[in-house]
Amino acid sequence: MTDGSAANQASGGGASYAAAGVDIDAGERAVELFLPHAKRATRPEVLGGLGGFAGLFSLKGDYREPVLAASSDGVGTKLAVAQAMGIHHTVGRDLVAMVVDDLVVCGAEPLFLQDYIAVGKVIPEMVADIVKGIADGCVDAGCALLGGETAEHPGVMEDGHYDISATGVGVVEADDILGPDRVRPGDVVIAMGSSGLHSNGYSLARNVLLELGHLDLEGHVEEFGRTLGEELLEPTRIYAKDCLALAAEADVRTFAHITGGGLADNLGRVLPVGLEAVLERNSWTPAPIFSMIAQRGRVERLEMERTFNMGVGMVAIVAPEDTDRAQAVLTARHVDNWVLGSITRGTDGAAGRAELVGDHARF
């Protein structure tokens, strides 16, 4: 049967793909605009460059027993803030952070990333801004942007709206894999400060601040020293190189990327049966954005702590004798850090868990 759909008839003044909502010319223009950015995010192992049907990456190096690690993620409803503000380059960095900071939890070095951008309508400049942010993030993480896809979805997404996701691949030696099996009682939990909300909890943040609070994204907020929109669009910190440097210089048992689920849930994922982490709330004060959401929305503490990172973006569990060394490495790399707690014995046979004790000062 021949294809007589409107999206495939382009002659005789009939229907066309562009008239049906997919503009191939705009897509090609977007590629022209973002290609210089994408080319910056590369590594020597990349073969053939961009533009092929598949990205090629040579696993060079003197590996003993390389294990590949993979992670996929998106940015969530933080995109709604970007779209409302008309600022699109920061969420690309968020996307990279959410993927590569998951990869390094097991000690894997991020090698490459592939993105997927779905749009209601291809606006070349907007797509180029998104890819610029992704490329910037890849450069900061030390990985290559190996390829990706931009798809126009007329009738499914509104013009000016988009969603983004990515998959990243890393490599770690089999005997260097970090994880629960390395964690011991007495180990020290070191926190690495977040740059803000990162990319989690935006449905609650938007509900409290924009829908219930009727705050203006363009309005200046004294506590932030900038507009509310700028605060909400602060990019997720990329810890990949910092974590790899730390693992190379100190006895790191494992990391935990603090995303949806907060400190307790994410730290519990990297603890073995029978051990628990006791974390001191009074060891840090969350940034003003967290207290603003809690107070304006009357959000209970447990709900805040299971939704947001509360100022802790990444956690390292280290051998106690390497605590000072680990903190010195992070400080030298300009990563805000502090001792968050320690690992203790829990209930025999019970799954690993984390517990927060005490109260935040001035929160």
Local confidence pLDDT in tens for the 363 residues of the chain: 333 333 444 455 677 666 666 667 676 776 766 677 777 777 888 887 776 678 888 888 888 999 999 999 999 999 999 999 999 999 999 999 999 999 999 999 999 999 999 998 888 899 899 999 999 999 999 999 998 888 889 888 888 899 999 999 999 999 999 999 999 999 999 999 999 999 999 999 999 999 999 999 999 999 999 999 999 999 999 999 999 999 999 999 999 999 988 999 999 999 999 999 999 999 999 999 999 999 999 999 999 999 999 999 999 999 999 999 999 999 999 999 999 999 999 887 778 788 888 887 555
Contact between 312 and 190 under an 8 Å Cβ cutoff? The reply is no
SS3 content of the chain, % helix, strand, coil (to 5): 35, 25, 40
The set of residues, in sequence order, having a beta carbon less than 8 Å from that of 335 and lying 6+ positions away, is 192, 193, 239, 242
Residue 13: what pLDDT?
63
Residue 23: what pLDDT?
67
Model pTM score? 0.90
Look up the CATH number of domain 23-51+64-174.
3.30.1330.10
Residue 21's Cβ-side half-sphere holds a number of Cα atoms within 13 Å equal to 13
Class of residue 261 by CB neighbours under 10 A (exposed 0-12, middle 13-18, buried 19+): middle
The reply to whether CATH 3.65.10.10 applies to domain 180-357 is no
Residue 352: what pLDDT?
78
Which is it for strands 188-193 and 337-345: parallel, antiparallel or unpaired?
antiparallel
Do 180-357 and 23-51+64-174 fall under one CATH topology? no
Residue 38: what pLDDT?
73
| Cα–Cα distance, 48 to 208 (Å, whole number) | 48
- In the numeric block, which tokens belong to residue 109? 């070095």
| Cα–Cα distance, 80 to 100 (Å, whole number) | 23
Beta-bridge mates of residue 145: 113
Contact between 65 and 174 under an 8 Å Cβ cutoff? The reply is yes
Per domain, the residue ranges of the chain are 23-51+64-174, 180-357
Residue 7: what pLDDT?
42
Q: For residue 133, give the H/E element and its range.
A: helix 124-141
Residue 33: what pLDDT?
66
Output the CA–CA distances (angstroms, integers) from residue 162 to 75, 80, 84, in the order listed. 11, 9, 12
